[in-house]
Amino acid sequence: MSGEMSMIGSVILALFLAGYLGQQYLPPPKPKVIGLDLGTTFCSVGVFHPGIGDVEVIGDDKGRKSIPSVVSFTLTEVLAGHEAQELADISQQNTIYDAKRFIGKIFEPDALMQESARYPFRVINNNSRAEFLITTNHTFSVSPEFIGSRLLLKMKKMAEKQLGVPIQKAVISVPAEFDEGQRSYTIKAANLAGLEILRVINEPTAAAMAYGLHKVDVSNVLVVDLGGGTLDVSLLSKQGGMFLTRAMAGNNKLGGQDFSQRLLQYTMEQVREQFGVEATLKEDIHHLRQTVEEAKLNLTLQPSASIRVPLRLQVPGAARGSVPKPVVFRSVITREVFEDLNQDLFQKILAPIKTVLAEGHLEKEEVDEIVLVGGSTRIPRIRSLITDYFGKEPNTSVDPDLAVVTGVAIQAGIMGGSWPLQVSAIEIPNRHLRKTNFS
Ligand SMILES: *[C@@H]1O[C@H](CO)[C@@H](O)[C@H](O)[C@H]1NC(C)=O
Ligand SMILES: *[C@@H]1O[C@H](CO)[C@@H](O)[C@H](O)[C@H]1NC(C)=O
Ligand SMILES: *[C@@H]1O[C@H](CO)[C@@H](O)[C@H](O)[C@H]1NC(C)=O
Ligand SMILES: CC(=O)N[C@H]1CO[C@H](CO)[C@@H](O)[C@@H]1O
């Protein structure tokens, strides 16, 4: 009897041990919560892998880790991301971008008219909220949150494809300045895409988390986010292990597009000097713009960029309607030229930095870490400007285009319970803060 008992006991023990040991060889659980960065110009999705303890930013079928925040309507379908971007030139009126600027916002009628004048598509007023007017076979209007939902749906599908499991839950980031309305309409966009939002976190906090600053002993973190069209500066302080936004400032008319525009004006002037006429054909200007954009990116890594653009110029004195003359424009642009052309614009970055320090009652020496976000912070002159001002190097090891999504994915990992960390909250909401805007 006692022999049987001990045998049963041994079997149970053996099963228990096998289960315990086996568990270590099981594949780690799949992430169930995704992290979403729904940006004004680009968006990305990431997950935290508990097994390897690392963030994966998910690529599309071509491996691209950011998709343009563009949605285009055709007769038969609604496209999002790169497919929509490709239609931006041929179907301008039905291709919507920058929807984030409108989401959840109440507009004065005049302000909405001014905004819509900046876009090739039609923005209409519906009870002080913006909607976009689309005309395919029939005319209809769509809301900014609907546009957001199509981008989020695209990213949800990318994640499902990569992970091989259905996804229903997410964490999403928003600008620190978003009010309750903008936050709730962002959540609405996610709900429309079939996603439940477990938490909304501020973009600067996410960027700080991408550098692990929630785990280390720092007090004050300055986040500089310089994107295609806007500059956002936030001063964060850690209190009891959580981030509090102390001050924010920015310039909503300063970004990479402005630096490219200066370079474009310069090359157009060179064309005029070399050939005695201006480039006027739409496709020539488009081609010049693309090349200049590429040169700008190359100048981050190289001291100079050679450009070569075939153009067709309308020779002066030639008869009206005569065939334009094909020429090839060549030039070498050095980094110095690029920096000189943008000297005054680069300097504008310091104003909001000084403002957040003043409003947050901090000396620049009291800033422990500086985090750079947004593609334009790759520009060497901008990095050195910030380094010189603070007398210390900013944190740049994370790709500035992916810093926000990386932090959101870490937060998603925490929410999914797959994070060996005690904290659950990362942020203290600060509802009374106002953003100072220069521009
Ligand atoms: C205006 O907004 C309301 C509420 O969101 C919506 O039901 C209605 O269809 C919109 N009107 C137009 C003309 O789009
Ligand atoms: C669009 O309109 C055309 C002409 O009125 C019609 O032949 C076509 O079937 C319509 N397409 C769709 C997708 O509704
Ligand atoms: C940028 O760099 C790439 C790779 O080195 C090169 O192929 C391309 O021609 C360059 N373009 C410009 C405009 O400098
Ligand atoms: C300049 C630099 O890289 N600074 C810091 C970046 O963030 C980490 C924390 O994760 C610090 O250890 C670095 O010193």
- Write out the catalytic residue numbers: 37, 100, 203, 225
SS3 412: helix
- Tell which atom from ligand 4 comes closest to the C-alpha of 393: 1
Q: What is the pLDDT of residue 130?
A: 96
Cβ–ligand 4 distance for 215 under 6 Å, the answer no
Q: What is the pLDDT of residue 422?
A: 46
Ligand 1: distance of its center to the CA of 141 in Å? 8
Give the contacts of 92 (CB within 8 A, at least 6 positions apart): 120, 121
Can 33-218+398-437 and 257-343 be said to share one CATH topology?
Answer: no
Ligand 1: distance of its center to the CA of 284 in Å? 41
Using CA atoms, how far apart are residues 22 and 12, in angstroms rounded to an integer?
15
User: Topology of domain 33-218+398-437, per CATH?
Assistant: Nucleotidyltransferase; domain 5 (3.30.420)
SS3 381: helix
Q: Which of 21, 14, 45 is nearest to 158 (CA)?
A: 45
- Look up the pTM and report it: 0.86
Whose structure tokens read 């981008």? 151
Do residues 271 and 279 touch, judged by C-beta distance below 8 A?
Answer: yes
The residue count of the chain comes to: 439
Would you tell me the crossing angle of helices 335-347 and 256-275 to the nearest 10 degrees? 130
Do residues 397 and 406 touch, judged by C-beta distance below 8 A?
Answer: no
Q: What is the pLDDT of residue 358?
A: 97
Using CA atoms, how far apart are residues 59 and 159, in angstroms rounded to an integer?
9
Using CA atoms, how far apart are residues 371 and 377, in angstroms rounded to an integer?
10
| Residue closest by Cα to atom 8 of ligand 4 | 211
Q: What is the pLDDT of residue 25?
A: 56
- Tell which atom from ligand 2 comes closest to the C-alpha of 75: 13
Cβ–ligand 3 distance for 298 under 6 Å, the answer yes
Do residues 31 and 45 touch, judged by C-beta distance below 8 A?
Answer: no
Cβ–ligand 2 distance for 138 under 6 Å, the answer no
Neighbours of 42 (CB within 10 A): 23
Q: Given ligand 4 and candidates 214, 223, 369, which is best to mutate, with the most ligand atoms within 8 Å of its CB?
A: 369
Average pLDDT for runs of 10 along the chain of length 439: 60 57 60 94 94 91 95 97 90 95 93 89 95 96 98 98 96 95 97 97 95 90 93 93 92 93 96 91 88 96 96 78 87 97 97 97 96 96 97 94 96 78 63 78
Distances (CA, A) of 237 to 193, 217, 260, 391: 34, 11, 34, 20
Dihedral pair phi/psi, residue 241, rounded to 5°: 80, 0
Q: What is the pLDDT of residue 323?
A: 81
Give the contacts of 183 (CB within 8 A, at least 6 positions apart): 104, 174, 200
Residue 329, beta-bridge partner list: 309
Tell me the domain boundaries of the chain.
Answer: 33-218+398-437, 257-343
Q: What is the pLDDT of residue 26?
A: 60
Residue 168 DSSP class: -
Give the contacts of 60 (CB within 8 A, at least 6 positions apart): 67, 81, 82, 158
Using CA atoms, how far apart are residues 248 and 363, in angstroms rounded to an integer?
15
Task: Write a three-state SS string for 314-360.
Answer: CCCCCCCCCCCEEEEEEEEEEHHHHHHHHHHHHHCCHHHHHHHHHHC
SS3 289: helix
Q: Which ligand is nearest to the CA of 215?
A: 4
Does the domain spanning 257-343 belong to CATH 3.90.640.10? yes
Ligand 3: distance of its center to the CA of 64 in Å? 19
Cβ–ligand 3 distance for 268 under 6 Å, the answer no
Whose structure tokens read 């909607």? 131
Q: What is the pLDDT of residue 19?
A: 54
Do residues 416 and 48 touch, judged by C-beta distance below 8 A?
Answer: yes
Q: Given ligand 1 and candidates 126, 184, 192, which is best to mutate, with the most ligand atoms within 8 Å of its CB?
A: 126
